[in-house]
Amino acid sequence: MTNRIAVLGSINVDTTYHVTRFPQPGETISANDKSSAPGGKGANQAVAAARSGAQLSFIGMVGEDNEGKFMREALQEDGIDTKFLKNDPRHGTGAAVITLDANGQNDIMVYPGANFGMDESLLAGTEDLLEKVDFLIAQFETPQAVTAAAFKLAKEHGVVTILNPAPAKEILPELLAVTDVVIPNESESEVLTGIAVDSEEAMLKTAEYFKDHGVANLLITLGSRGVFYSTPHGHGIVPAFKVKAIDTTAAGDTFIGALTSQLSKDLSNVADALVYAQRASSLTVQRMGAMPSIPTASEVQAALND
């Protein structure tokens, strides 16, 4: 069965500068190359889910500029419904500047633009959409208040809500109360809870923290160590695939989109879905760029069968 997914999230045009190493404070260095591509956590996650066979709708904002038109067309090329991608007359389309070193590590500066121009009026008319979807995904590159309102509406229609709290910041209690699944990475998890995820015992303690705040399901991405999961069906760590990364941009977004494309609504297949998602992410990091690096379902299945 095809999962039906809505993503409420950010859209950015990514500009990547390729460098041998990161500059020191006050230092000027030369970039070896420069490239621009569609991106943003929300857009990347939507594309990852769509390329893994899910049916996607996007809720968000772009500017009334060429970049906004470019991003709308990029989503539509992957079959994503952009009916609820609105134009913001006050702000430009979001943008990100990525510095990528020779080891595949990156640092990122983000201009939120239209992504933070959202308010709850964006959700007008989305109730019909939320009656039809299985999952709603959101991140922290858009206002939390809008996400909380969307999640509350989604819960009224039996939609499973998935929160990727990145970049990490304090989570509104009212948002946690309507979140079914929270997916931080290990550093984000520590920022949010104050618990360093350096052992399985600490991860279980983190799961209890989120349960106490209303979230029954926790997934923590652990980089090369894999993914920790805790749900009512059980807990454990699913190992990562060992590959040589050349660009880690969009690895986490690929993971979340691919995962949601495979999950059952009751999360009973979470371990199998995590294997698929990690394989998808392992392909992303072996390619350059954000959205262009995200694999299709056939590519993931071929890699799993190797």
Distance between CA atoms of residues 182 and 267, nearest Å: 13
**Bridge partners of residue 237, in order along the sequence:** 228
Q: Can you tell me the distance from the alpha carbon of 188 to that of 164, in angstroms, rounded to the nearest whole number? A: 10
Is residue 253 flagged as an active site residue?
yes
Q: What angle (nearest 5°) sits at the alpha carbon of residue 115, between those of residues 112 and 118?
A: 135
Q: Which tokens go with 114?
A: 């239209």
Question: Any residues with CB less than 8 A from the CB of 234 and at least 6 apart, and which?
Answer: none
Q: What is the C-alpha separation between 294 and 245, in angstroms, rounded?
A: 14
| Three-state SS at 40 | coil
Catalytic residue among 134, 253, 272, 306: 253
Whole-number Å distance between alpha carbons of 263 and 284:
20
Which runs of consecutive H residues, i.e. helices, occur in the chain?
41-51, 66-77, 127-130, 144-155, 173-176, 186-193, 200-212, 251-262, 270-284, 297-305
HSE, CB side, 13 Å, CA atoms: give it for residue 136.
Answer: 30
Strand partners, 35: 16
Active site residues: 253
